[in-house]
Amino acid sequence: MAKEFTFNWQWDIKSPPEAIWKYAADTNRFNRDTGQPEVELLSNVKGTKRARMKLPILRVEWEEEPFEWTYPYSFGITRRYNKGPLDEMRTNAKFDPLPGGGTRITYSSSFITRNVFAQMGIPFGIGVIAKNRFEKAFRRYDEALQKNETPNESPHQRALGSGGRSRFKVQSEAVVKQGTNPELLKRLEEFLDHADELSIQRIRPYALADAWKTNRRAVLEMFLRATRAGIVDMSWDLLCPSCRGITEGHSNLAEVHGDSHCNTCQIDFRANFDHNIEVVFRPNASVRPIDYTAAFCVGSPQMQPHVVMSQSLSPLRSLPVNVQLDPGRYSMRALNVNGSASLFADVDGASKTDLRATQFGWTLDEHRVALHSTLNLINATEADSIFQLERTSWGDQAATAADVTALQVFRDLFATEVIRPGEEISVGSITLMFTDLRESTRLYRKIGDAPAFGRVREHFQVLEDAIAEEGGAIVKTMGDSVMAAFRHPIAALRAMWKAQVKIMERGEPMLWLKAGMHKGPCIVVNLNDRLDYFGSTVNIAARLPGFSQGGELIFTEEIYNDPDVQEFLAQQKPDALSRFSDNVKGFDDPFTLWKLRV
């Protein structure tokens, strides 16, 4: 005869809900920290997962429905077992803010079993042992947060053996010689030594930089140099554009295909350099061997941090949900409903909004909602559905392929890392810069071949230094010209300004540098065994230096409209900037262009 057991536990902690959420909602880590055994994923179709526990004798298998959650207030899961002592398990965790600060955690669970031995063991195993372990984990997270520490690292743990530590120190010498701050390398050594295995299975350099409160590019460049030195290994992970789960992981860029498939969402998608190819790192086995397959949960809200809310809703039902949002744009999607509803969150938005999903889709209107608001979810279809609210921005802590390949450090250290010949992968936005020297042929006739070549070579060095300093990369040189790539327009503008000033300071004979900049989408290709760019954005940028007389930067409105560029231009002399309109060869309509005199 089946019997149901229910448990309700409460604890008050000092940390606010949004702080404790990061660790409590990472159920993979939480299950590990509370002493639960490893699990193995058997299948994953449209979010419904089949899994089993890795136990030596007892076989425990179950089917798991997708997690439901609302950041940072609650999450829950249901498991239905087909092997093992249990029939069903439901858990729900709530994180309610306390009036004076802190959080009240309410952890509720229920278990249904027909097994007599399970019925005898659950009151003590769950009611006493599990309760104590859960409270201990929450208290430990809270204590670490109060000290501004990371619960995933322990100053007492020493994971690096003598051999791994020696190899790290020897190999790090090359990383320091290439320009990495020794203090950063010391922090990396401490991280690899004290972090737990789950934290180093997939190291995200931007997340680590944020935790260290240091420059993201400096940390990313350190990891690239450390990869070349053999301290860490690099992986190119393809992420589903919908659930953002990992669909593929490759050790070489040449192994990345333009087309991929997500089993969870059952969709095919095209890879994109700045949206769904993330570069992550893990320790090289010679420094610290770890088990990359270790897992304690097959699903977790923290596996999809861009999803603020995920709730199941029966047909023809509604559900009010309180949400806490950051300013910006969001999309509401529903399973088996075409399209999405668009939301914009700000302080002046509506405190309550109806969001209706029908068999015909969603309304086209954009909903303006408050940062703390109630979303009334309405399932006007005749089928069960899962409503998910997603941040539309990808600007989180992912170091994308576009970020990495636009660095000079990557181009210098990984010149052979290219996509396969014939493969084409898009990049949504890249800033491209082309330069040329005015009347360089006349310079050779005026001062002679050797002196002129020396001045031209000197100007290449100035450009390379300025571009690398601003986080860009030289894609190729063509005669006296340079093509460079940057992730952000302001970096290209600053690099070109610095280079122009230095070149002009070199004196007679004066070199007059012409430069053009444009931003937009393009295609990443393998051209002559080198990563290159192709498309209209390239064609436009390449023609812009022709509008310069030398000592001038020519750029398009896409560059001019960037907020950081606007701030830079506001600091220049009023007569240094001028606007004009002209035709660009190969394009029918005239372009609005801007000219900045150095």
CA distances from 327 to 17, 252, 340, 348, 392 (A): 18, 37, 19, 10, 11
Phi/psi for 336 (5° steps) reads 70, 15
Burial class (CB in 10 A: 0-12, 13-18, 19+), 393: exposed
User: Is the pLDDT at 215 greater than 70, yes or no?
Assistant: yes
Residue spans per domain, the chain? 3-146, 162-302, 307-391, 418-597
pLDDT of residue 508: 63
pLDDT of residue 503: 79
Mean pLDDT of 97-112: 95
Q: Tell me: the pLDDT tens digits for 170-191?
A: 999 999 999 999 999 999 999 9
Mean pLDDT of 384-412: 88
d(CA 131, CA 226): 43
Tokens of 360: 């015909």
Residue with tokens 């660095």: 407
Q: Does 418-597 match 3-146 at the fold level? A: no
Q: Tell me: the pLDDT tens digits for 327-342?
A: 989 999 998 888 889 9
d(CA 77, CA 487): 40
Burial class (CB in 10 A: 0-12, 13-18, 19+), 297: buried
| Nearest one of 198, 184, 192 to 168, comparing CA atoms | 192
d(CA 464, CA 482): 9
- Range with top average pLDDT, 91-95, 200-204, 545-549: 91-95
Q: Tell me: the pLDDT tens digits for 365-379?
A: 889 999 999 999 999
pLDDT of residue 556: 95
Mean pLDDT of 538-544: 94
d(CA 188, CA 203): 11
pLDDT of residue 32: 92
Instruction: Judge contact between 433 and 496, C-beta under 8 A.
Output: yes
Instruction: Judge contact between 287 and 160, C-beta under 8 A.
Output: yes
Determine the topology of domain 418-597 in CATH: Alpha-Beta Plaits (3.30.70)
pLDDT of residue 154: 64
pLDDT of residue 366: 86
Mean pLDDT of 217-243: 92
Q: Tell me: the pLDDT tens digits for 491-504?
A: 999 999 998 888 77
User: Is the pLDDT at 445 greater than 60, yes or no?
Assistant: no
d(CA 581, CA 594): 8
Angle at alpha carbon of residue 593, lines to 591 and 596, rounded to 5°: 170
pLDDT of residue 245: 80
pLDDT of residue 3: 94
Architecture of domain 3-146: 2-Layer Sandwich (3.30)
Please tell me the number of Cα atoms within 13 Å of 566 on its side-chain side. Answer: 5
pLDDT of residue 276: 86
- Categorize the per-residue pLDDT at 449 as very low, low, confident or very high, splitting at 50, 70 and 90: low
